[in-house]
Amino acid sequence: MSKLDNMMAILWMLNSGRKITAKQISEKLEMNIRTVYRYIDALCASGVPIISDTGHHGGYTLLNQFIKSPLLLDVEEKTTLLHAAVFAKEAGYFSEEALNSATSKLMMHSNQEQESMIKQHLEGVEVIGSLGKPTIEPILKTLEQGVLHESSVEMDYQTSHEEQSKLRIVDPYGMIYWNHNWYVIAFCHLRNEIRSFRVDRIIRVNQTEITFNRPPLFSASEFFRSSLHPEAENSQAFIPLVVTGKSSTLDGLCRHWFLGHHLQERAPEKATFSLDKEEIHLYVPTLLLPYGRSVQIIEPISLKQRMVEVLHDLIDYYQV
């Protein structure tokens, strides 16, 4: 580690509130004891109030009135950051090397009591992610550089309904992680409009020397949400969708990426949504089928009939 990192590590150890010896510091940080003395002197010279007690029970402590640096995190703050790192890794975070380095420093710069408490917290919360390591990491890094430096990228992109990829030049405005997939929001030179592209459908991507200016106050997340839920041209086409059921089941419906956006009212055993009439009959039946008898449709009555039609279609399909 660098000199600054070692000095910060010593400061973390002194922050435990207990007396600690130079020998304990040297063993913990795997450094020569004379180096520890030099770092302690350097910290004192920089204004850190370190108290040194000599004798058999001597050691170093910090002055009680010492004002903590914002970089000195307590156990809850460290645990929160480590939990966030776990979620980031399972989301396919594409700077894993830097993330691992940061989390190892959080653990290294902790005293024994803090390490024990952090370990207990981390063992109590786990995240189950995908089994395979993402293969799109190089593409994500290239796109991130494009967003950061406002430089256009050239990519081969293949949509779900095309057999061959197409070459496109896009200006990446931002990146979104949604529903277990990465997306880049970019201005497409081919279509002459802002679009969202799923990163796992990008075959190849390269930086270009072309630069662009991102529109002021542009929000990639707002654009992405609006593309998922376009506003109806006629607001009068919206009608209420009312369902009842167990509270836990309704919680799942209200968190659904599509229905949750249209939630209007929620009671313990009833949820009311407002949707376009065509959307209700087109999308909602397949959304409600997995819930079986745990939900009941109150209105519109026409949706009940549509559910019957969908079920008959499935029965006919599997009887062939």
pLDDT at 132 exceeding the cut of 60? no
For residues 235-262, average pLDDT: 87
Residue range(s) defining the domain that contains residue 172 = 137-228
State the DSSP H helix or E strand holding residue 172, giving kind and residue range, or none if neither. Answer: strand 166-178
Mean pLDDT of the chain: 85
In this structure, the answer to whether residues 37 and 100 fall within a common structural domain is no
Domain final residue, candidates 189, 209, 228: 228
**Phi–psi pair at 215, nearest 5 degrees:** -55, 135
Helical segments of 150-216, H only: none
In a domain, residue 131? The reply is no
pLDDT, residue 230, reads 60
- How many structural domains comprise the chain? 4
pLDDT tens digits, residue range 265-298?
A: 999 999 999 988 888 999 899 999 999 899 999 9
Question: Of how many residues is the chain composed?
Answer: 320
% of the chain surpassing 70 pLDDT: 90
Confidence at 144, pLDDT banded by 50, 70, 90: very high
CA distances for 195 relative to 187, 230, 239, angstroms: 6, 14, 29
pLDDT digits (tens, 9 = 90+) for 253-274: 998 888 888 899 999 999 999 9
- Looking at the fold, whether 97 and 173 belong to one and the same domain comes out as no
What digits encode the pLDDT tens for the residues 38-82? Answer: 988 888 887 788 888 887 778 888 876 565 555 566 778 788 888
| Domain harbouring 259, CATH code | 3.30.70
Mean pLDDT of 116-125: 78
pLDDT score for 129: 66
Q: What is the mean pLDDT of residues 107-123?
A: 74
Question: Quick check: is 69 in a domain?
Answer: no
Find the mean pLDDT for residues 208-235. Answer: 82
Q: Looking at per-residue confidence, does 87 or 182 come out higher?
A: 182
- pLDDT at residue 175 tops 90: yes
Cis peptide before 300 (omega within 30 of 0): yes
36 and 96 inside one domain: no
- Does 130 fall in a domain? no
Between residues 270 and 90, which one has the greater pLDDT?
A: 270
Confidence of residue 131 (pLDDT cuts 50, 70, 90): low
**54 and 102 within one domain:** no
- Provide the pairing of β-strand 151-157 with 202-211: antiparallel
Examine residue 129 and state whether it is found in any structural domain, yes or no: no
% of the chain exceeding 90 in pLDDT = 38
**Alpha carbons 292 and 278: distance in angstroms, whole number:** 22
Q: Determine the Cα angle at 164 with ends 162 and 168, to 5°.
A: 95
Put simply, whether the predicted model's pTM sits higher than 0.75 gets the answer no
Q: What is the Cα–Cα distance from 64 to 14, expressed in whole angstroms?
A: 11
Cβ-contact 62, 51 below 8 angstroms: yes
Q: Which residues contact 49 (CB under 8 A, 6 or more apart)?
A: 62, 63, 65, 66
Ordered alpha helix ranges (H), the chain = 3-14, 22-29, 33-45, 75-90, 96-108, 112-124, 137-149, 220-228, 247-255, 277-288, 301-319
> pLDDT value at position 109?
63
